[in-house]
């Protein structure tokens, strides 16, 4: 029968929201009203204000653990009536010996009305919730009485059996009796008792052989031997075979229950200890396995890294070698073509001149590519040598502008120079710094349509020397701005313009500027123009 909403409200305090929502939906389907909280503090606050009919808590929670809340609730008269189900990540049985060792944590843990070990399927949770709602005891409630412990008595002495049975039953044990060894072994198989009391001298089987059979089947089973006065050496033999203790007949019946209880408790503790040791060994084995796997993965990564580095080095070496080998014949070709164009060996006609100019143009382009490749491979290999001297920045700008002037004129671009009057001294490699400026200027020329304008400014700024190259060209799309300093990267619009380029100029310029302790940046508006800014350390005048 579905629970009535208002009466039966449940607070779920669980760290995992998915798990909480699965439980909540199932409980709501049963007619419960459900509240949720995801950490201990929120959980305790809601417990206080909402006073639910029942609370389900994770034993371990952020901010405040569930078992701590549980102890808190049970100590507070206003809340103590709220039943609490704790969901524990570890074996509940393992907690009990901790309590016996006087650990407060275990007390808090066991103050819950019910502890269930995770994972707890929805149906199981529903079953316990229903039980609590109907007032039936939740099974197995940890705080309720323990199930009775079973003792098997094997003895052909009827009187002794009877007296033991009465004594132990009175003391709260469940007692099974067998008058023969064979019957004893059969009952043992059937009932799996917690302890066996065994007479050593019986009519059918010898007690020692019964003991051997029992120990073979259950090595951890506590067995107490009963021997007649005068046959103690038999008892010693039994102890060697694994008996836990021996009592000499006639027995002191008042003491028997205490001895039995002590041995059952000892064997339980031993079992728990073994289980915990086993769990510990398993987890450390797993950990060791994981460490070994990680170590293997690390070595593989290291090897891959070394291989990659070697491949990178070989690639750089190869590029460097090829570009070097290309440059020599290309420079040769350029020289001879220039000789022909100069008519050093006789006149050439207009068509021949036109063809030779095309050859010269392409030859220069190839030399430029070879130079760029050589530069980039030297930079990457850390082999670029700089020859730095004290230089006036304005002079370098002048020289770069002068060398590119013909190209600006050919495209009818207006070039404006705005250079600070006071000298801007920098510590730089002359050729390399001119190469940087050339690159920025030739890009400005290349990516600005005819009739546009380019402005070059040089000025001091906060102890730095700045050079700005601005154009009114095609601009750079926003999404490409980040990447134009990467090797071989060309912005979408520049590729469409069909302008020639390798995408190596800017990465080289950037590296060169950085080798001078400077930086390079860009701002741009698509269709409106771009500004590249180089910053360099300014020397004292
Ligand atoms: P390249 O010009 O040979 O392609 P760069 O490395 O010098 O190589 O430039 C990379 C890219 O940056 C160019 O392809 C172009 O897309 C963009 N770019 C550089 N300068 C400008 C500029 N002044 N205006 C517009 N785009 C530019």
Segment 147-192, tens digit of pLDDT? 689 999 999 999 999 999 999 999 999 999 999 999 999 999 998 9
pTM: 0.51
pLDDT band at 230 (very low <50, low <70, confident <90, very high): confident
Segment 44-79, tens digit of pLDDT? 999 999 999 999 999 888 888 888 898 888 888 889
Q: Which of 368, 444, 501, 530 to mutate to test the pocket of ligand 1 (most atoms within 8 A of CB)?
A: 501
User: Are residues 436 and 456 in contact, defined by beta-carbon separation less than 8 angstroms?
Assistant: no
CA of 499 relative to ligand 1 center, distance in Å: 10
- Average pLDDT of the segment spanning 441-463: 95
- Average pLDDT of the segment spanning 340-346: 92
The pLDDT value given to residue 10:
95
111 C-beta closer than 6 A to ligand 1: no
Of 14, 35, 19, 26, whose CA–CA distance to 129 is shortest?
A: 26
DSSP 145: P
Q: Which ligand 1 atom is at minimum distance from the Cα of 469?
A: 23
Q: Is the pLDDT of residue 257 over 70?
A: yes
Backbone angles phi, psi at 248, to 5 degrees: -95, 130
Q: How far is CA 215 from the centre of its chain?
A: 48
506 C-beta closer than 6 A to ligand 1: yes
Q: Is the pLDDT of residue 110 over 80?
A: no
Q: Is the pLDDT of residue 436 over 50?
A: yes
Q: Is the pLDDT of residue 102 over 70?
A: no
Residues 6 or more apart whose Cβ sits within 8 Å of residue 287: none
The pLDDT value given to residue 416:
96
> Rounded CA gap, 22 and 40, in Å?
20
471 C-beta closer than 6 A to ligand 1: yes
Indicate the range of 118-122, 210-214, 262-266 predicted with least confidence. Answer: 118-122
The pLDDT value given to residue 254:
85
Bridge-based pairing state of the strands 84-88 and 114-117: parallel
Q: What does 476-488 look like in DSSP terms, one character per residue? A: --HHHHTTTTSTT
pLDDT band at 531 (very low <50, low <70, confident <90, very high): very high
User: Are residues 263 and 197 in contact, defined by beta-carbon separation less than 8 angstroms?
Assistant: no
Backbone angles phi, psi at 509, to 5 degrees: -60, -45
Of 352, 414, 336, 370, whose CA–CA distance to 502 is shortest?
A: 370
Segment 305-316, tens digit of pLDDT? 999 999 988 888
- Average pLDDT of the segment spanning 494-503: 74
- The closest residue, in CA terms, to atom 14 on ligand 1 is 490
Indicate the range of 171-175, 318-322, 497-501 predicted with least confidence. Answer: 497-501
pLDDT band at 120 (very low <50, low <70, confident <90, very high): confident
Segment 188-224, tens digit of pLDDT? 999 899 999 999 887 777 889 999 999 999 999 999 9
- Average pLDDT of the segment spanning 88-109: 61
197 bridge partner residues? 153, 224
Q: Which two tokens stand for residue 165?
A: 């049975």
- Average pLDDT of the segment spanning 338-351: 93
CA of 494 relative to ligand 1 center, distance in Å: 7
Q: Which two tokens stand for residue 226?
A: 């009963």
pLDDT band at 3 (very low <50, low <70, confident <90, very high): very low
- Helix orientation angle between 92-100 and 253-341, rounded to the nearest 10 degrees: 120
DSSP 230: T
User: Are residues 475 and 530 in contact, defined by beta-carbon separation less than 8 angstroms?
Assistant: yes
Burial grade of 393 (CB within 10 A; 0-12, 13-18, 19 or more):
buried
Q: Which two tokens stand for residue 66?
A: 């569930």
Mean residue pLDDT of the chain comes to 89
pLDDT band at 2 (very low <50, low <70, confident <90, very high): very low
Farthest-apart Cα atoms in the chain, separation? 143
The pLDDT value given to residue 115:
84
Q: Which ligand 1 atom is at minimum distance from the Cα of 439?
A: 7
> Rounded CA gap, 372 and 387, in Å?
19
- Name the percent of the chain lying above pLDDT 90: 62
> Rounded CA gap, 193 and 196, in Å?
7
């Amino acid at each position: 029968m579905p629970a009535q909403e208002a009466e039966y409200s449940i607070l779920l305090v669980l760290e995992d929201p998915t798990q909480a929502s699965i439980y909540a939906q199932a409980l709501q389907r049963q007619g419960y009203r459900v509240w949720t909280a995801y950490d201990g503090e929120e959980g305790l606050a809601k417990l206080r204000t909402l006073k639910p009919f029942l609370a389900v808590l994770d034993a371990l929670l952020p901010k405040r653990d569930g078992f701590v809340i549980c102890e808190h609730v049970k100590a507070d008269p206003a809340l103590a009536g709220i039943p609490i189900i704790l969901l524990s990540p570890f074996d509940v049985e393992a907690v009990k010996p901790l309590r016996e060792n006087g650990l407060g944590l275990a007390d808090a843990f066991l103050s819950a009305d019910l502890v269930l070990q995770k994972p707890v399927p929805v149906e199981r949770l529903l079953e316990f919730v229903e039980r609590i709602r109907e007032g039936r005891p939740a099974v197995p409630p940890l705080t309720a009485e323990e199930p009775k412990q079973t003792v098997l008595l094997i003895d052909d002495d009827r009187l002794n059996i009877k007296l033991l049975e009465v004594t132990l039953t009175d003391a709260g044990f469940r007692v099974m009796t067998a008058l023969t060894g064979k019957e004893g072994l059969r009952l043992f198989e059937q009932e799996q008792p917690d302890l066996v009391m065994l007479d050593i001298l019986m009519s059918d089987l010898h007690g020692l052989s019964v003991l051997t059979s029992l120990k073979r089947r259950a090595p951890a089973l506590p067995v107490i031997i009963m021997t007649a006065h005068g046959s103690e050496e038999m008892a010693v033999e039994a102890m060697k075979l694994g008996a836990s203790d021996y009592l000499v007949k006639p027995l002191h019946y008042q003491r028997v229950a205490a001895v039995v209880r002590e041995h059952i408790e000892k064997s339980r503790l031993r079992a728990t200890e073994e289980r915990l040791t086993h769990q510990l060994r398993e987890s450390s084995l797993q950990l060791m396995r994981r460490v070994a796997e990680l170590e293997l993965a690390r070595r593989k990564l290291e090897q891959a890294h070394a291989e990659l580095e070697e491949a990178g080095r070989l690639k750089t070496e190869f590029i460097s070698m090829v570009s070097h080998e290309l440059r020599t014949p290309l420079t040769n070709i350029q020289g001879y073509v220039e000789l022909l164009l100069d008519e050093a060996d006789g006149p050439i006609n207009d068509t021949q001149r036109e063809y030779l100019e095309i050859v010269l143009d392409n030859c220069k382009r190839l030399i430029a590519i070879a130079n760029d490749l050589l530069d980039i491979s030297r930079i990457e290999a850390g082999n670029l040598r700089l020859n730095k001297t004290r230089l006036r920045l304005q002079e370098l700008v002048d020289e770069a502008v002068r060398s590119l002037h013909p190209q600006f004129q050919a495209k009818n671009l207006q070039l404006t120079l705005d250079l600070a009057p006071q000298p801007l001294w920098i510590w730089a490699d002359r050729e390399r710094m001119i190469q940087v400026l050339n690159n920025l200027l030739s890009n400005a020329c290349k990516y600005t349509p005819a009739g546009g304008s380019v402005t070059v400014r040089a000025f001091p700024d906060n102890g730095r020397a700045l050079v700005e190259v601005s154009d009114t060209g095609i601009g750079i799309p926003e999404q490409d701005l980040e990447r134009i300093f990467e090797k071989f990267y060309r912005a979408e619009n520049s590729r469409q313009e069909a302008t020639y380029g390798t995408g190596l100029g800017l990465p080289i310029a950037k590296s060169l500027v950085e080798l001078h302790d400077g930086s390079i940046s860009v701002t741009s508006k698509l269709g409106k123009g771009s500004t590249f800014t180089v910053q360099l350390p300014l020397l004292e005048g």
